[in-house]
Amino acid sequence: MEEALRAAEERLRAAGVASPRVDAELLAAHLAGVSRGRLRALALIGAEAPAGFQALVDERARRVPLQHLTGSASFRRIDLSVGPGVFIPRPETESVAQLVIDRAGPLSSPRIVDLGTGSGAIAASVADEVPGAEVYAVELSDLACAWAATNLEPYGVRLVQGDLATALPELDGSFDIVVSNPPYIPADAVPNEPEVAEHDPHMALYGGGADGLRLPRAAAASAARLLRAGGYFVMEHAEVQAPWVAAFLTEAGVWTSVTTHQDLGGRDRATSAVLRESARPTTAQRASSATPPTIGPAAREHRGHPTGHPSVDTPDHTAGHTP
């Protein structure tokens, strides 16, 4: 097996995969049905490479995302089912989930909504780590909704299919926390990584407009509509967009405590704000289409998700693997 792993590592390195040895081991571990640590032990004692290993290495060398080949992505302490049609959650989005979990911790039975949930990564993690929380998730894409339903079912999250700009009008003013990791890549930007450019759904990448901020602005407007006074909003964005996001939240006049947050790499990747006590939704904010169809609670109504979205300014947002 060690010889096969070394050959796979060289093949993947030549193909431009950022973590060739890790990916080779994870592919072999997936086929063998063992952990990566156990696979290493098997390699040391001279075990054979699992059947089908070379075929998966060939696919990965063509820059098919690792998670599409294994069908799974790790996010915080849960494993998510992922595949074509849904954005693969990124490690930096775990920091956004942590902000929600920290804010929700002291609250009694907090009501939380994840706008643009994708695979359901943030919503599932929050439901998993905040006992007693009432968690909703909103997603527009049919394919992403199918993946999210699978991932959210074990956690009792209420999944709603609809537009993040208009969803849940019947629950205006009732949420303690709104979180969003919306699409935010500018219209004329093309991701460098083939895993992103060729395999992540464009619907999950592009935020609309030259600056990519149409959907982030819509998420912020929905947060102002959905939150109770004093409620908390946090949103992921690209590093270069941090000043613009802070500016439009401040200029809206309904937010206080606008704060930029860094990810584990020290980059400005999220912004939070608190809805002013005097803020009230306007008639325009309340206007919406018919109430979107509900697919939930996911635990009871299964319809059977890259969460995070790649920054346009940081090259390390690959779909190669997540921790």
Q: Which amino acids are annotated catalytic?
A: 87, 181-182
Contact 222, 115 (CB under 8 A): yes
Residue 320, C-beta contacts closer than 8 angstroms, at least 6 positions apart: 17, 18, 19, 23, 65, 66, 193, 195
Sheet containing 294-295: order of strands: 255-262, 268-275, 227-236, 175-180, 111-115, 134-139, 158-161, 294-295
| Helix, strand, coil content of the chain in percent (nearest 5) | 40, 20, 40
State how far the Cα of 68 lies from the Cα of 200, in Å rounded to an integer.
10
Contact 296, 157 (CB under 8 A): yes
Residue in 313, 84, 88 with CA at minimum distance from that of residue 211: 313
Q: Kind and range of the H or E element at 270?
A: strand 268-275
